[in-house]
Amino acid sequence: MGYEPLSEEQREIRDLIRALARERIAPRAAEIDESAEFPWDMVELFREHEILGLPFEERFGGTGTGTLMVLVAIEEISKVCATTGLILALQELGSLAIRNDGSEEQKQRYLPRLASGEWLPAYALTEAGSGSDAAAMRSEARRVDGEYVVNGAKRFITNAGVASLYVVFAKTDPTAGHAGISAFLVESDSPGFEVGRIEPKMGIKGSTTGEIFLNDCRVPVENRLLEEGDGFRVAMRVLDRSRPGIAAQALGIAQGATDYALSYAKTRETMGKPIAEHQLISAKLAEMETRCEAARGLLYKVGMAIDEGVEPLTKLSAMTKLFCGDTAMEVTTEAVQILGGYGYMKEYPVERMMRDAKITQIYEGTQEIQRIVIAREMLRENRASLLAGVA
């Protein structure tokens, strides 16, 4: 066995989730993709085994096992079904704003419901005209007596229509750019809250992605996170800690595709021997495995950094998401190639894995944005070159 950075307890939890993924989730993966229906049975499975409690502290009903364990679990589940892995990733994403910046009263009110899986959350930042540029958002929140009246629309919201709690960002000062954004906790039964179109998608088809509308939506003042104008900081702190969850999903897809391609290549014969023994195929497999292992090194590093309270996380988080997302796309493409014509058929899972992989290069910040973030953080660093002063 190679180097293993996980503790004995973490390995035991990983192995339990791995077995659950193989025995209960994998048999449903193709059907979830084909039906494009949200898999409530998988949510119930997670509730039964307390998997949705992984992101939460014990005092709120969670497992208290830390971020690294969440990432390992998302990877294991995504090896067989990226849609189901995303359910856990969204439980992390949708709760982070409360866990990071919520008041004690907000935490006590909402986190136990999320930890038990009674409620699913969603994160509502993106709008039709403001994806990577949050300052361009048009949603507004106006304070009237003891509540806010929120108006606007959000687009591409994962868990739209199935979430009970939405973290919504809107401008309380439309003239102040980033400094005018505030964050609110909006329950799905709030007056003026409405779910719109659910989008048909290329991949992760069992996950709902849709529009939400806030039409004079009434939100109590006590549901604001921090102070007015703190919303952009809330959003960025969330993204630094949520991008690794998407990286874990991407790595799971890549490793699942690598494992399947290897199994296929060991049994498929041409010219009198398994194709795995042909030099070009073996080279592809070697490259796929190496990329997965390198991606896992970044993923585990950022998970441990979060658990140890390391700051800042921005650069490491962006690098992890960038490398894991690109690995997922490259590896699944090669997996389809190794299977040849069979790889292009829906009967085999690598076709689904390739479609699922693409979104990991887009959501939680596109790969282009990750590169901008990484380069910006590099320019801020004060590090000396070994060649300084050399002509």
The SS3 of residue 340 is helix
H, E, C per residue of 329-374: HHHHHHHHHHHHHHHHCCCCHHHHHHHHHHHHHCCCCCHHHHHHHH
Query: Do residues 262 and 207 lie in contact, with contact meaning Cβ atoms separated by under 8 Å?
Result: no
Query: Do residues 315 and 378 lie in contact, with contact meaning Cβ atoms separated by under 8 Å?
Result: yes
Query: Do residues 362 and 250 lie in contact, with contact meaning Cβ atoms separated by under 8 Å?
Result: no
The SS3 of residue 162 is coil
364 given a catalytic annotation: yes
Taking the C-alpha atoms of residue 70 and residue 242, their distance in angstroms, rounded to an integer, is: 11
Q: Cβ contacts of residue 83 below 8 Å, gap of 6+?
A: 29, 32, 33, 39, 204, 205, 206, 207, 356
The SS3 of residue 158 is strand
Which residue, among 203, 242, 269, has the nearest Cα to 89 in the 3D structure? 242
The angle that helices 231-267 and 279-307 make with each other, rounded to 10 degrees, is 150
Q: Which of 92, 127, 228, 364 is catalytic?
A: 364
Taking the C-alpha atoms of residue 246 and residue 363, their distance in angstroms, rounded to an integer, is: 8
Which residue, among 272, 295, 292, 296, has the nearest Cα to 334 in the 3D structure? 292
Residue 381 CB-density burial (10 A; 0-12 exposed, 13-18 middle, 19+ buried): exposed
Structure tokens at 11: 């390995």
Taking the C-alpha atoms of residue 185 and residue 62, their distance in angstroms, rounded to an integer, is: 20
Would you please indicate which residues are annotated as catalytic (active-site) residues? 364
